[in-house]
Each structure stands twice: as structure tokens, then as C-alpha cells.
């Protein structure tokens, strides 16, 4: 399936996305696959927040890089105390403002995200959303923090530096289907971590792959962080 995926947009299973985002896989499936719940004798269905970049394969959710970054924002907003209903309203409004199906991962949202959230509450006319005014500084802080390790090109996010914001490790949809890799040297972090485990020496792996030992150590630490 990876060979059939469109080039340059990344490829992640729900499990891979959950691992990179450090969130339960059920969250990824609920946010992008929708879900149903029962209340009394009635069954209600909640639609996905958006349609992923990649079509379902054997009914499995598959994501592109922009989906991954959008979910990262969803996770952080929920962690900050915002509800899915609020986030959904903002997404709908932001798509119109930004003219992009993935509005959270745009330069416009980086600069105007707090305003877009507040305007979306007003447009929705839902009294339960209007308490966003009390959370506007929290929203601003989440946006600023989440964009700190993202690189923007041509008005949208093109690269993520997932290990402490360091430039040594990147997630770039144009490289190895968007899997975590080393900047410049383009060796997947998992390959370096497995090699160090087999060789028992970061120095030996550095020589073998012609990658600076500091980058090898970052790759190992990053993979250990994901595993934890």
C-alpha cells in the first residue's frame, strides 16, 4: 500500500499516527473515522472531524502528513480543555477563512488562530462556545507552543521537528513517506536505533551510516521516547 500512496503527502496508519502523537489509537480512529454512541434507546453518530488525505484501505484509516499535523493541534486543544464540539466549529470556520481543508497547519492560523477561534464561537451562535473568551490566552499559548517545532513553506506546514524541536530529526512528507528520519543524511531513525541495538555502539553505527554520532544518539533517544 505504501508504494501506491501518492508521493509527497506522507503515509501513516492509525497506529503509526497514534505513536507519533503520543495519543491512544482510539482517539485517531474516533477523530477521523467518526463514532456512534447510545443514549437511552437512541443511537447517535458523530461524524469525523474531516476526511483524511488518503482513502480508507480495507476499512482502515490512513493519514497524510497534513492530517497528522492537524491531529496534533486537536490533541493539544483538547489537552487545554477545549471540547470536540468547539474544535469542530473552529475547523469549519477556519476552512472558510483560510481556504484550506487543513486550516490548523497554515501560516494564517499561526498568526490569526486565536481570532479565528473567537470568531467561530460568535458565528456558531452557541452560548456554550462563548466561554472561549475566557480561554483566549490558553488558545494563544497552545498555538504558539505547537508551531515552535514546525517549519512553514508556501503558507503551510511542510516539516515537523519532533525531537525537542531539534533540527537533527525531522518528519517530512517528501522523505521516506513521512516517517521520522535524520535531516541531511535521510536515514530513518528506526534504522539507526535498531542498528545501535544490534551493534551495541553508537560510534560504530555512526561510521557505518556516515552520520554524526550526535545525530545517531538523537535518533536513538527519539525512538526510546516513542517507545516509552
Taking CA atoms, 65 is separated from 7, 44, 124, 201, in Å, by 11, 30, 29, 32
Can you give the pLDDT at residue 7?
67
Task: Characterize the bridge pairing of strands 62-63 and 150-153.
Answer: unpaired
Dump strand ranges (E) for the chain.
12-13, 35-39, 42-46, 62-63, 150-153, 156-160, 169-170, 181-182
In sequence order, what are the beta bridge partners of 20? Answer: none
Can you give the pLDDT at residue 201?
96
Can you give the pLDDT at residue 58?
80
Can you give the pLDDT at residue 121?
80
Specify the pTM.
0.92
* Structural domains of the chain in order of their starting residue, each with its CATH number: 2-160 (no CATH), 161-228 (1.10.10)
Q: Per-residue confidence of the chain (228 residues) as pLDDT tens digits?
A: 444 556 689 999 999 999 999 999 999 999 999 989 888 889 999 999 999 999 887 889 999 999 999 999 999 999 999 989 889 999 999 999 999 999 999 999 999 999 999 898 888 766 566 567 778 899 999 999 999 999 999 999 999 999 999 999 999 999 999 999 999 999 999 999 999 999 999 999 999 999 999 999 999 999 999 998
Can you give the pLDDT at residue 1?
43
Q: Give, in degrees to the nearest 5, the angle at Cα 151 between 148 and 157.
A: 105
Can you give the pLDDT at residue 37?
87
Amino acid at each position: 500500500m505504501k508504494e501506491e500512496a501518492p508521493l509527497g503527502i506522507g503515509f501513516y496508519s492509525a497506529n503509526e499516527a497514534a505513536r507519533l502523537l503520543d495519543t491512544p489509537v482510539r482517539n485517531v480512529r474516533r477523530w477521523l473515522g467518526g463514532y456512534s454512541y447510545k443514549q437511552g434507546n437512541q443511537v447517535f453518530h458523530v461524524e469525523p472531524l474531516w476526511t483524511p488525505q488518503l482513502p480508507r484501505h480495507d476499512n482502515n484509516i490512513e493519514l497524510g502528513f497534513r492530517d497528522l499535523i492537524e491531529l496534533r493541534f486537536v490533541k493539544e486543544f483538547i489537552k487545554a480543555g477545549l471540547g470536540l464540539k468547539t474544535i469542530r466549529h473552529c475547523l469549519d470556520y477556519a476552512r472558510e477563512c483560510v481556504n484550506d481543508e487543513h486550516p490548523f497547519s497554515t501560516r494564517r492560523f499561526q498568526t490569526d488562530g486565536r481570532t479565528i477561534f473567537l470568531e467561530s464561537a460568535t458565528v456558531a451562535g452557541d452560548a456554550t462556545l462563548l466561554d472561549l473568551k475566557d480561554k483566549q490566552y490558553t488558545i494563544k499559548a497552545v498555538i504558539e507552543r505547537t508551531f515552535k517545532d514546525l517549519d512553514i513553506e508556501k503558507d503551510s506546514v511542510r516539516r515537523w521537528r519532533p525531537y525537542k524541536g531539534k533540527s537533527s530529526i525531522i518528519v517530512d512528507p517528501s522523505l521516506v513517506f513521512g516517517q521520522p528520519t535524520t535531516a541531511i543524511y535521510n536515514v530513518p531513525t528506526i534504522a539507526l536505533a535498531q542498528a545501535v541495538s544490534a551493534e551495541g555502539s553508537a560510534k560504530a553505527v555512526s561510521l557505518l551510516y556516515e552520520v554524526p554520532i550526535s545525530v545517531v544518539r538523537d535518533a536513538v533517544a527519539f525512538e526510546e521516547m516513542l517507545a516509552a
